[in-house]
Amino acid sequence: MSEPAIGEKKQFWFSKKENRDKAWRGLLGLTIILCLLDFVLHKHSAFKSGSTAAQVDEFWAFYGLFALAATFLLVLLGKGLRKLLNRSENYYGGPDE
């Protein structure tokens, strides 16, 4: 990969809208595949049979939906942390100091 010319801004993969759309479609596709695999694969629950936890665990789309929700939550938490931890551009002092 070549370096950008002087004065030219570096382009990142997620800078383009079509690449962000590809990532979302990929995540949604993976969720759908995980949900469909629940019809084919036999799950072995770690919970006592008949308990509420076992019923939730045996729901046909639990793992796919859980993965989607966890990823969504991580992105939202990351945005919040960025606002909380972000510092000004010259937090450590400017070039003349």
Average pLDDT for residues 34-59, to the nearest whole number? 83
Helix axes 62-85, 17-40, angle to 10 degrees: 150
Among 27, 7, 31, residue whose Cα is nearest residue 19: 27
Query: Are 35 and 67 in contact, with CB atoms under 8 Å apart?
Result: no
* Average pLDDT score over the chain: 82
Average pLDDT for residues 4-11, to the nearest whole number? 70
Taken as a whole, the chain contains a residue count of 97
User: Considering the entire predicted model, what is its pTM?
Assistant: 0.52
Greater pLDDT, 6 or 11: 11
Other CB atoms within 10 A of residue 31 CB:
19
